[in-house]
Chains A and B, each alone.
Chain A
Amino acid sequence: MSDLERHSYDVIVVGAGGAGLRAAIAAHDAGARTAIVCKSLLGKAHTVMAEGGIAAAMGNLWPEDSWQIHFRDTMRGGKMLNNWRMAQVHAQEAPARVWELEEWGALFDRTKDGLISQRDFGGHRYARLAHVGDRTGLEMIRTLQQHAVALGIDVFMECTVTQLLRDTAGSEPRIAGAFAYWRENGKFVLFEAPAVILATGGIGKSYKVTSNSWEYTGDGHALALRAGASLINMEFVQFHPTGMVWPLSVQGLLVTESVRGDGGVLRNSEGRRFMFDYIPEFFKAETADSEAEADRWYEDKKNNRRPPELLPRDEVARAINAEIKAGRGSPHGGVFLDIASRRSPDYIKKRLPSMYHQFKELAEVDITAEPMEIGPTCHYVMGGVEVNADTAASIVPGLYAAGEVAGGMHGSNRLGGNSLSDLLVFGKRAGDAATAYAASLSTRPSVPERDVQQAEEEASSPFTVQGGENPYTLHQELQQIMNDLVGLIRTASEMSDALEQVAALSRRSEQLTVEGDHRFNPGWHLAIDLRNMLLVSECIARAALERKESRGGHTRDDYPMTDPEWGKINLALRLEGDKVTVTQQPLPEMPAELKQFFEEK
C-alpha cells in the first residue's frame, strides 16, 4: 500500500468523451484542479462514433425555430417521461454550447449565408442539427480534446476506475476519491478528490447486437450504484432502427439517421414504403400520409408534414421489427434503406461520406447504386444516474453525472442529435457545480485506507482464482441473454427468465480466471468490466419487468399500450447490500407555463 500511486485533485472526471471533456474544461475554467481519467487513449471515446449532428435551435435555416419548440419535440420524443427541467435547460443552452465549439476551432458545414448549417432528423420539427458531413462526433471530440490540451488539463489515459471511495466519518457519506488501475501495467492508483464527475457513457456491450464500442460496459452506472446513488429510467434502452445486418462481422454497426434526414426511405421486400402503415395516433397530426407530401417536405416544410421515416427512433425500430417478423424482410434479416434511387451519387458522397465508405469497405455495397440492408441495433440507454436537473448532482454529495450515464433528460426515448447537445450542456453544468461544491467544503474528505485495500483485492481477484471460468465466455452468454430476453420487444416471462440467468452468471463471475499477468491484459480488463455489465443488466431487467406498459424504448408484448398512470412514474433503482431494489417515484411535475406548449390547438 505504501507504494500505491496517489494523486490529489479538486475534481476528477471519469471519461473523456464529449461530456467528460466539456465537464473538465468547465471545472478547469472555474478554478478547480482538474484531471480526466479515461479507459482509452484520449480522443477515442464513443463520442467519436456520433454521426448526425448536434441538436440546437439556432434557427439558421428556419428562423421560426426556438428553444420552446426544441423543448416540445424533446418531451414528445421521450413520451413525456423526461425530466422537464433537464429538457428545458438543454433546449435553452444548446445553441450557446455549439457556438462555443466554433470559438475553439470546430468547423461545421455552412449555410449559403455562411452560418452553421443544420440538418433534418427524426422527431425535430425543423432542421436543427449542426453537423460536419456524417462525422460530427469526431469534430466535437477533436475540438474539445484540442481545447483541453491547450488549457493544460491533466489526463490519465488508459486508466480504468474500478471503485468510488467515500468518506463515511460524517453524518452523510460523501465522495472522497476514485480507485483505478493503469491498463498498461496493471498498477493501481488512487485519486483523492472531493468531487467526481461520471461521464462514462452507456451500457451497450451487455447486448450482442449493438452500435456501441467496447468501452460501453456501464461502468459509471455501476460505480454510482455501489457508491449509494440511484439510477432512474433503466428500462428504457434505445434500439436504433438502422444498424448494419450483413456481414455478421459488422452486425449492429450504426447507419446514421442522416440517411433518412437527407432523403433515404425504408422499404420491405415487396418494395413498399412501409412506414406509412405505422404512424401512431400520437404523431398523426404532424406526419405526412402520402409519399407525395412526404417528398415535398424536404423543400417546403411550411405546407407539408414530415415523412414517417423521420418519426422518433422507437417508432421506426418497432415498425422494422414488425416487417421482419411478418416475413417481409431483406435476405439477411433486415429491411432496405434506400437513398440510391432518391438522391444523386454526388449528393450522397458529399452528405454521407462515412456511410459510403463504411458500406463500400465492409459490405461491398455501393450505397449510391443499391439499397442498404439494415435492422435495429442497441444504441443508447435513456436511463442513468438520477441527478439534479440544474447541477447534475446525484444524491451522494460530491458525485455528479453527465451525458449518457445520467438519466432523466431523454425520458423514455432520445431524439437523434439530442445526445451531443446533452453532453455539452450538462457536461458544462456538472463541471461548474462540482467545482463550486469542492470549493465550498471546509475540510477535504479523507479516503478510508481499508477501502483502498479492499478495492485492490477485488480488482486482483481474477488472478488468485485457479480453474475458474473464462470471462469472454460469460460475456458472450450475457450478451445473448440480454439480446434475446430483454431486447426490443419484451414479455414478463422472458424477463423473469433473464433475471434468473443473469443471477446465475453473477454467481459464476465470482470465480473468473484470467491467464497472463497484470500487464495490458484484455482478459483481466474484461473480468473487471463484466461485474459492471452484470449489475447494469440486472437493473435493466428489473425495471423493465416492473413497468407494465409500453412507452418509448420499452415495448412489451404483454402490455402493448401506453398507460397514462405509468406516465406519472419514474422507476428508481438502488443497491442495498447486494440486492437491487426498485422504487416507484413520482415524475417531477411540469410548471403551467411549460405545459401550455403541449395543449391541443
Chain B
Amino acid sequence: MDVQSPAGQPDGTPAGKGTDGQTSDAAAGSPEGQPAGAPTGQTAVGRPPSSGHAGTRHFRIWRGSAAGGGLEDFRVEVNEGEVVLDVIHRLQATQAGDLAVRWNCKAGKCGSCSAEINGMPRLLCMTRMGTFAQDETVVVTPLRTFPVIKDLVTDVSFNYEKAREVPAFMPRPREADGTYRMAQVDVERSQEFRKCIECFLCQNTCHVIRDHEENKKTFSGPRFLIRLAELDMHPLDTNNRKRLAQDQAGLGLCNITKCCTEVCPEGIKITDNGIIPLKERVVDTRYDPLVWLGNKIRRRPS
C-alpha cells in the first residue's frame, strides 16, 4: 500500500529534528522549553503553579511544529473521574482552539492519542487525573521518536512504512470439508499479539530507535517484531519470515530490556512472548549446523 503524504510536505524529516532539545527539556519539566515570544493571552506563561481551588490544575503542554516550539502553561478546570484527554479537550474548547492532538475512540481501543505525560509514554484517554497529586503539574509532550507535525501530533509514517515491509499472510489450503480447523490453544498465542492497537508507544519507547535515527532503516521496532512473531505462530500461515526478521527487521538489535512491554496499554508481553521466542526460532533455523549443512548441500540461495 502506498500511504500518501500531503504534497509539498517533505517525507522522512529526521525524528526530533528541530524539536529534540525542547522535548527532552519538556520531559524533564524544565522551563527552558519555553519558546521565545510564546503566545501569552489566555495562557499563564511563566506563572508559577499554585494549588488553587480544588478544581483547577496546572498543565504544561508542548506547542509548536517541526520548526521549533516549547512548553506552554495552562490553568484548567478538572472534574472528578476525568482523564488527561478530557482536559486537553477543555483547553481546545476554551483556551486554545487550534491545539493539535490526535484522538478517536477515547476508550483505549484505537491507539490514536499516544503522547508522553510527565515523561512517560501513555495514552491520553487512559490516564486518569486521579493518578496525579492534587498540586502536581502535568506535562504533556509529543512522542519523541517521531517528527513533530504540530503540538502533540507527530508524523508516525515510519510505522506505516514498516507495515508495508511485512510479507503477506499466506494460508495453507482449507480442509477437505471447506473449513479451517484450529484449536483454541493454538490461536491464542497469535491472538495475544493481535490485541495490538497500534498506539506505537512501544516504538516510541524503544531505545534502539528513540535516540538513534540511524537505526530506523534496519529496525522495525517492537510492534512489527510481534507482528512477525504473530505470523510465525499463526496456525495457517505458510510464509517463512525468519530470515527477514533477522536481516531486515533488525531482530538482533533488540537486547530485550523490555521497555516496550512496560508501556504497552494492552498488556501484551512483547518481549517474553513475542521477541524472545522469535529470536529462538531464528537461531534454531539459522545457526543449527544440520540446517546450515543442508542449505549448503542443496545450494539454496543464501
Chain A: residues with CB nearer than 8 A to chain B?
5, 40-46, 48-49, 102-105, 107-110, 113-115, 117, 132-133, 135, 137-139, 142, 146-157, 159, 182, 184-185, 187, 189, 213-215, 246-250, 253-254, 354, 357-358, 361-363, 470-473, 476, 514-517, 519-524
Contacts and interface: CB of A to CB of B under 8 A. Distances in A.
A185 B66 CA distance: 12
Given A107-B191, A524-B98, A213 B105 contact: yes
Nearest to A58: B179
A44 B104 contact: yes
A211 to B, nearest CB: 8
A287 B111 CA distance: 40
Given A49-B105, A150-B168, A514 B150 contact: no
Contact of B151 (A48, A117, A137, A520): A520
Given A107-B191, A184-B149, A189-B7, A44 B182 contact: no
B7 A187 contact: yes
Interface string B158-189: 00100110101101000000011111100100
Interface stretch (B12-20, B47-55, B77-85): B77-85
Contacts of B160: 42
Interface stretch (B28-36, B192-200, B252-260, B274-282): B192-200
Q: In the complex, which of the residues A40, A149, A152 has the most CB atoms of chain B within 10 Å of its own CB atom?
A: A149
A41 B102 contact: yes
A185 B9 contact: yes
Contacts of A472: 92-94, 97
Given A152-B2, A358-B107, A520-B150, A246 B81 contact: yes
Contacts, number: 195
B45 interface: no
Contacts of A471: 97
Interface in B63-82: 65, 79-82
Contacts of B184: 109-110, 117
B204 interface: no
A247 B182 contact: no
Which of B101, B109, B151 gathers most chain A CB within 10 Å? B109
A185 B8 contact: yes
B1 A153 contact: yes
Contacts of B149: 184, 519-520
B261 interface: no
Contacts of B101: 522
Given A107-B187, A154-B1, A516 B98 contact: yes
Given A48-B109, A249-B83, A115 B181 contact: yes
A20 to B, nearest CB: 13
Interface string B135-161: 000000000000001110100100010
B100 interface: yes
A5 B4 CA distance: 12
Given A132-B194, A246-B81, A515 B97 contact: yes
Contacts of B80: 247-248
- Most chain A CB atoms below 10 A, which of B93, B104, B112, B191: B104
Contacts of A151: 1
Contacts of B191: 107, 132-133
A590 to B, nearest CB: 31
Contacts of B94: 472
Given A132-B194, A248-B82, 11 more contacts: A42-B3, A44-B105, A49-B110, A107-B187, A113-B181, A138-B109, A149-B163, A246-B81, A250-B107, A362-B128, A515-B97
Contact of B2 (A105, A154, A248): A154
A155 B4 contact: yes
B108 A361 contact: yes
A399 B99 CA distance: 35
Given A49-B109, A184-B149, A523-B92, A148 B1 contact: yes
